[in-house]
C-alpha cells in the first residue's frame, strides 16, 4: 500500500478531491492511504507563524524552514522506506507521464504545498528529493498542483482502475497521444462511427488505432515524435500524413 502525506496550510482543500471517484476507490481497495497535515501545528512560536519577511527585502512573505523540517521529521521518524519528498513549485521539473510512472513505484510520498512568495531555500536544498511544476504558470499555492500529481500517480497503482490495460494505453504512456474513441449509437445525427470499428476484425481495428494515434500526435503534438522510435509502418504513415498536409 502506498502512503501519501501532504503538508499544507489549507487541508480542507483536499477533502472533496480525495474522497470522490478513483481516489476514493483506491482507498477502499487499500491501494493508498492519505494523511493531510497542517504544518502550522509544527511552528515553534505561540502564534504558530510559518512565514516571515525575506532577507534583503522584497515583496511577499517566505515560508520558514523550521515548521516544514520538523513536520517532515515527524512523518519520517518511523519510516521503513525512505520517502520521496516532493516540492510543488514553478521552478521544478515539468511534470510528465513518465514522472508519474516513476513515482507510482514508490512506497511513500510526501508533498509540500507552499503559499506566499516562496520557500526558504534551505527547504529546497536540504530536504526535498524532487521539485515538480505542472506547467509554466503560477498558482496561489501548491495544493492544486499536488492534487494533479496525486491523481495521476494513484490511478497507476495496481488494481485501482480495474482494467490493467487502461493506464498502459493512455496518452503519453506509449509516447504517442491516444487514438479516438467511439461508443453507441453507431450513427448519431448523421455522424457515423468509422466502419472499421464495426467490422469485428481485431487486426484491422488495432491497425486503425495505431495509425490514428500517430496521426493525432503528428497533428497536435509533433514535438513528441522528435525522440520517438518509429517502426517501418509508422514511417510510411507519417509520410502519408505529411503529403496530405502539403
Is 70 among the annotated ligand-binding positions? Answer: no
The residue among 10, 7, 15 whose CA lies nearest residue 140 is 10
Q: What DSSP designation does 201 have?
A: -
Is 190 among the annotated ligand-binding positions? Answer: no
Q: Report angle CA 19, 86, 221 to the nearest 5 degrees.
A: 85
Query: How far apart, in whole angstroms, are the C-alpha atoms of residue 101 and residue 111?
Result: 16
Is 114 among the annotated ligand-binding positions? Answer: yes
Is 137 among the annotated ligand-binding positions? Answer: yes
Q: CA 115, 89, 63, 75 torsion: positive or negative?
A: positive
Is 193 among the annotated ligand-binding positions? Answer: no
Is 138 among the annotated ligand-binding positions? Answer: yes
Q: At what angle do helices 143-154 and 21-28 cross, to 10 degrees?
A: 60
Task: State the catalytic residues.
Answer: 90, 117, 155, 170
* 54 burial level (CB within 10 Å; 0-12, 13-18, 19+): middle
Binding residues for S-adenosyl-L-methionine: 114, 134-139
Binding residues: 114, 134-139
Amino acid at each position: 500500500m502506498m502512503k501519501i502525506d501532504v503538508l499544507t496550510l489549507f487541508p480542507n482543500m483536499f477533502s472533496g478531491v480525495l474522497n470522490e471517484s478513483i481516489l476514493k476507490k483506491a482507498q477502499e481497495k487499500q491501494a493508498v492511504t492519505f494523511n493531510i497535515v497542517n504544518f502550522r501545528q509544527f511552528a515553534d512560536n505561540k502564534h504558530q507563524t510559518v512565514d516571515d519577511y525575506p532577507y534583503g527585502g522584497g515583496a511577499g512573505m517566505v515560508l520558514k524552514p523550521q515548521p516544514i523540517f520538523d513536520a517532515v521529521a515527524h512523518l519520517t521518524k518511523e519510516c521503513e522506506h525512505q520517502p520521496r519528498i516532493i516540492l510543488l513549485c514553478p521552478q521544478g521539473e515539468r511534470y510528465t507521464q513518465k514522472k508519474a510512472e516513476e513515482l507510482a513505484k514508490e512506497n511513500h510520498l510526501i508533498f509540500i504545498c507552499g503559499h506566499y512568495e516562496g520557500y526558504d531555500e534551505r527547504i529546497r536544498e536540504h530536504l526535498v528529493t524532487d521539485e515538480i511544476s505542472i506547467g509554466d504558470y503560477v498558482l496561489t499555492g501548491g495544493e492544486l498542483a499536488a492534487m494533479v500529481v496525486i491523481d495521476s500517480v494513484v490511478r497507476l497503482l495496481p488494481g485501482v482502475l480495474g482494467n490493467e490495460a487502461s493506464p498502459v494505453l493512455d496518452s503519453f504512456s506509449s509516447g504517442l497521444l491516444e487514438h479516438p474513441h467511439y461508443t453507441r449509437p453507431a450513427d448519431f445525427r448523421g455522424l457515423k462511427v468509422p466502419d472499421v470499428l464495426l467490422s469485428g476484425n481485431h487486426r484491422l481495428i488495432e491497425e486503425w488505432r495505431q495509425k490514428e494515434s500517430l496521426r493525432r500526435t503528428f497533428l497536435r503534438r509533433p514535438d513528441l515524435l522528435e525522440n520517438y522510435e518509429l517502426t517501418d509502418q509508422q514511417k510510411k504513415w507519417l509520410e502519408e500524413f505529411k503529403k496530405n498536409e502539403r
